[in-house]
Amino acid sequence: QVQLVESGGGLVQAGDSLRLSCAASGGTFRSYTMGWFRQAPGKEREFVSSISYTGGGVSYADSMKGRFTISRDNAKSTVYLQMNSLKPEDTAVYYCAARQRATIGRYDYWGQGTQVTVST
């Protein structure tokens, strides 16, 4: 069983930056595609970004392109989300997720989330 623990959230002002971390344990981190999702109050959870198990393939939701950067350190079993130029609409709980190679269309494991609040 894989455990994912997010950290790095907080309260910031518009235009500030934050780096979220997600530490994984209990599995073979280097074999998982990792993703970040977020859920704002009253809204459905949405995709933010993902990174392949090699780190060579990344994707972003359109509204995050150019502002967010995903990366991973397989030696530390950690995935990061660098968020720059934050906007109030980025306020949400951010979740880390892991997908095994054989899984298609969903993520197998989820963290508990970390709150990001961006004030005007």
| Dist. CA 17–CA 26, nearest whole Å | 30
Q: What is the pLDDT at residue 105? A: 87
- Cα angle for residues 74, 78, 114 (degrees, 5° grid): 165
Average pLDDT of the segment spanning 25-44: 95
The token pair that represents 13 in the structure block:
């002002």
Residues 74-97: tens digit of each pLDDT: 999 999 999 999 999 999 999 999
Q: What is the pLDDT at residue 102? A: 87
Residues 95-107: tens digit of each pLDDT: 999 999 888 889 9
